[in-house]
């Protein structure tokens, strides 16, 4: 009788547990909506509108109220209405869905609060709610409003604000009266902007030819600086990305052009000669590009990924060089100083290069010479079969023992494997099971590699 009662009780308990599990709400599928490097740190927004950072934090640029470095992305606050971010050196600028802009980090020139002390948490800039596009420079900031006007503020020692002087400005100030600005990018002490008519305008430091005006000195008052927006080239520019003291711009035919300092081959023209006018990078068209502080990357239509400029060994690569033999790269996301982020066509993001302060977000501070899986970028897919793998999530995460796959009902799984941060295989399990026991693993950060008929998905998890 006791055995019968025990069996009945066990069945009843299992039924209750099953009901409780069924009542657990499904977790939202998380992916990165935008991500980029600053000076030794990562900042990005996930598809649920939350803000995440990692890496160097000496000036509070991680926004978590501390100055402690972090080697894995951690959420900043609890807000879930972040729309766009821009980072440069130790300062960040961010846009919310309500049209407000926020900044934090290094504040030496008063570009955040008007004072000079670091700002370790996001603080709103002004009260306007009609901001549309943002760009954070080394010590100054640019932003475009919904009406197409351009606004500037921050450090101005080299005239990067384009106001005709070198006076620091502590709050957003409109630049001229034009209302047709479309694209903006900022370097250390330089500003670049493209209008809707395809013309490119520059201002700021010109000591290394950054203004692209064909000389090494300014064409306005102020010595080597260009103090007011000056047009460069014709009217066929579509995009621009400023590095520290150089810049790369793209024309409508998708060719890339570069100018400025070239001490490590960052101009990609197979020399280390500084250029004061736009020079084409090779002859091919490019599908994406990114310029960092001496390091650059780009992709071509054949799905191949290239990098040039200073690498993690301190060696200058003078022309675009294949990162690896893969042909499924979608685009480069961001370049820093010896470190990079890029994404493949399936949405898998990879980071590699220098990592002395954990800026790759991989949970360590060691160099990663080759692209290492980081996380998933949000991708648009045509239908269920294409999207099924990207919809998979894990729970619980972190975990002590068992990991369960969510949203995998429509997949036929072939294998589940676990690798550590070095890529070493830790566990492997064949079959169509939608769970795996990881209790035997030491505490740490791992990747669950889900192999299905539709392809392979890599999911990061923490074993406690």
Report the CATH number at residue 285.
Answer: 2.130.10.30
Would you say residue 94 lies in a domain? yes
Pair (57, 170) in one structural domain: yes
270 contacts: CB under 8 Å, gap ≥ 6: 318, 319
For residue 317, the cross-strand partners are 309
Assigned domain for 22 exists = no
CA 309 to chain centre: 19
- Tell me, what's the pLDDT at 42? 97
**What does the pLDDT read at residue 202?**
97
Residue that terminates a domain, selected from 319, 342, 376: 376
* 74 in any annotated domain: yes
Domain membership of residue 111 (yes or no) is yes
Q: Are 406 and 27 in contact (CB under 8 A)?
A: yes
**What confidence tens digit (pLDDT) does each residue in 27-57 have?**
446 899 999 999 999 999 999 999 999 999 9
Lowest mean pLDDT among 193-207, 212-226, 334-348, 415-429: 212-226
One domain for residues 92 and 234: yes
Whether residue 13 is predicted with pLDDT greater than 50 in this model: the reply is no
Residue 9: is its pLDDT beyond 50? no
Q: Is 131 a domain residue?
A: yes
d(CA 326, CA 345): 11
On whether both 85 and 168 belong to a single domain, the answer is: yes
pLDDT of 440 over the 80 cut: yes
Q: For residues 185 and 210, is the Cβ–Cβ distance under 8 A? A: no
CA distances from 209 to 212, 252, 258, 274, 426 (A): 6, 23, 11, 7, 52
* Mean pLDDT, rounded, for 342-367: 96
Same domain, 219 and 246: yes
Q: Give how far Cα 100 sits from Cα of 36, 181, 276, 445, Å.
A: 20, 19, 37, 36
The pLDDT-based confidence of 21 (bands split at 50, 70, 90) is: very low
Tally of structural domains, the chain: 2
Is residue 424 domain-shared with residue 335, that is, in the same domain?
A: no
385 domain-assigned: no
Q: Quick one: 351 and 396 in the same domain?
A: no
- What percent of the chain clears pLDDT 70, i.e. is strictly above it? 88
Same domain, 364 and 434: no
Statement to judge: residues 455 and 312 lie in one domain: no
Give the distance from CA 344 to its chain's centroid. Answer: 14
CATH number of the domain to which 416 belongs:
2.60.40.3080
**Domain annotation covers residue 126:** yes
Cα separation of 336 and 333, whole Å?
10
Kindly state the percentage of the chain with pLDDT values over 90: 73
Which of the listed residues 343, 376, 409 is the one where a domain comes to its end? 376
pLDDT greater than 70 at residue 220:
no
Q: Are residues 368 and 430 in the same domain?
A: no
More confident residue, 376 or 434: 376
Q: Based on the domain organization, do 214 and 251 belong to the same domain?
A: yes
pLDDT bucket at 113, cuts 50 / 70 / 90: confident
User: Is 387 part of any domain?
Assistant: no
Give the range of the structural domain holding residue 404, as residue numbers without chain letter: 392-463
Position 14 scores a pLDDT of 37
- The pLDDT tens digits for 270-325 are 999 999 999 999 999 999 999 999 999 999 999 999 999 999 999 999 999 999 99
Q: Could you say which of 376, 402, 425 is where a domain stops?
A: 376
Same domain, 372 and 421: no
Single out the residue of 451, 367, 142 nearest to residue 459, CA to CA. Answer: 451
Same domain, 270 and 412: no
């Amino acid at each position: 009788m006791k055995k019968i009662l025990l069996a009945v009780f066990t069945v009843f308990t299992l039924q209750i547990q099953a009901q409780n599990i069924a009542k657990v709400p499904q977790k939202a599928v998380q992916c990165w909506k935008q991500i980029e490097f600053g000076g030794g740190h990562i900042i990005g927004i996930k598809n649920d509108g939350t803000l995440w950072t990692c890496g160097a934090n000496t000036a509070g640029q991680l926004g978590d109220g501390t100055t402690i470095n972090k080697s894995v992305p951690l959420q900043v606050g609890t807000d879930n209405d972040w729309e766009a971010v821009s980072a440069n050196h130790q300062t960040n600028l961010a846009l919310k869905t309500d049209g407000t802009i926020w900044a934090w980090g290094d504040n030496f020139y008063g570009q955040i609060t008007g004072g000079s002390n670091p700002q370790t948490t996001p603080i709103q800039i002004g009260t306007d709610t009609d901001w549309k596009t943002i760009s954070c420079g080394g010590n100054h900031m640019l932003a475009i409003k919904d009406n197409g006007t351009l606004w500037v503020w921050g450090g101005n020692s080299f005239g990067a604000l384009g106001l005709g002087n070198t006076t620091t400005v502590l709050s957003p100030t409109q630049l001229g009266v034009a209302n047709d600005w479309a694209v903006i990018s900022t370097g250390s002490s330089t500003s670049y902007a493209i209008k809707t008519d395809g013309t490119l305008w520059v201002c700021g430091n010109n000591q290394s030819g950054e203004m692209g005006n064909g000389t090494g000195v300014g064409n306005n008052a102020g010595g080597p600086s260009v103090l007011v927006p000056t047009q460069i080239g014709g009217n066929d520019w579509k995009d621009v990305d400023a590095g520290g003291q150089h810049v790369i711009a793209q024309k409508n035919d998708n060719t890339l052009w570069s100018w400025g300092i070239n001490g490590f081959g960052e101009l990609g023209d197979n020399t280390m000669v500084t250029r004061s006018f736009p020079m084409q990078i090779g002859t091919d068209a490019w599908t994406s590009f990114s310029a960092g502080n001496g390091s650059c990357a780009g992709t071509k239509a054949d799905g191949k990924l290239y990098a040039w400029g200073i690498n993690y060994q301190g060696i200058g690569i003078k022309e675009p060089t294949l990162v690896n033999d893969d042909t499924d790269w979608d685009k480069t996301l961001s370049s820093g100083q010896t470190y990079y982020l890029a994404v493949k066509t399936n949405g898998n993001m990879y980071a590699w290069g220098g990592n002395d302060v954990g800026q790759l977000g991989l949970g360590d501070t060691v160099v990663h010479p080759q692209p290492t899986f980081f996380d998933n970028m949000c991708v648009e897919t045509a239908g269920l079969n294409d999207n099924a793998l990207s919809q998979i999530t894990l729970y619980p995460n972190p975990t002590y023992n068992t990991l369960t796959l969510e949203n995998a009902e429509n997949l036929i799984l072939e294998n589940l494997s676990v690798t550590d941060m070095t890529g070493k295989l830790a566990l492997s399990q064949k079959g169509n099971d939608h769970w795996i026991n990881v209790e035997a693993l030491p505490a740490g950060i791992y990747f669950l590699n889900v192999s299905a008929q539709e392809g392979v998905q890599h999911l990061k998890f923490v074993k406690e």
